[in-house]
Amino acid sequence: MTSNSRTVHLAVYDTFADWETGHTTAHLARNGYTVRTVGPSREPVTTMGGLRVQPDLSLDELRSQDSALLILTGADTWDAGDGLAPFARAARGFLDAGVPVAAICGATAGLAREGLLDGRAHTSAVSFYLAATGYAGGSRYVDADAVTDGGLITAGPTEPVAFAREVFALLGVYGPEKLDAWYRLFHDSDASAYEVLEGE
């Protein structure tokens, strides 16, 4: 990773699935990261849950060197034309610069269309969802909750906790023992994990 920034950028656009990154952004913020939202413009967007979000900056203001990570959430609009294709192109710029990208749900289809999954192990909702994009990466599809390949994280829509786990591992937010405990607590409701989390 070429950036030393403690700023993470969260892409926001109309119909973005607000629940998919809640664990990720909340625990990054609690661990010293600044989360900045990036919209198609600086005009407010409305999430799938009906929340209005005022982006901190527009996509054309985003620079990979100012970021530790770009997060792309799912949205109905990923599969409704090319309106979000500029975000997939931005992801290409981040990866080319050695700055990680994390994509969940419909954003994985956007990356597939951009050709970013053709040579990387990845996952999504189901394999045939990505196959419908016509991409060439089907042989690299992994049936897993979340997958990290180099600087790219992918996950399906039902795996926000696993998605967060991969982000924390990639950025070094938690050590292995604490990361495992965090996952057991939030994914499995394992109360014994509290002891590890409170002990560090």
What is the set of active-site residues? 105
Give the chain's radius of gyration (CA, Å).
Answer: 16
Q: Exposed, middle or buried: residue 64 (CB in 10 Å: 0-12, 13-18, 19+)?
A: buried
The one-letter amino acid at 34: T
Q: Exposed, middle or buried: residue 84 (CB in 10 Å: 0-12, 13-18, 19+)?
A: buried
The length of the chain in residues reads: 200
Closest CA to 170 of 117, 61, 95, 116: 95
Q: Are 4 and 66 in contact (CB under 8 A)?
A: no
Q: Are 72 and 9 in contact (CB under 8 A)?
A: no
Q: What is the DSSP letter of 33?
A: P
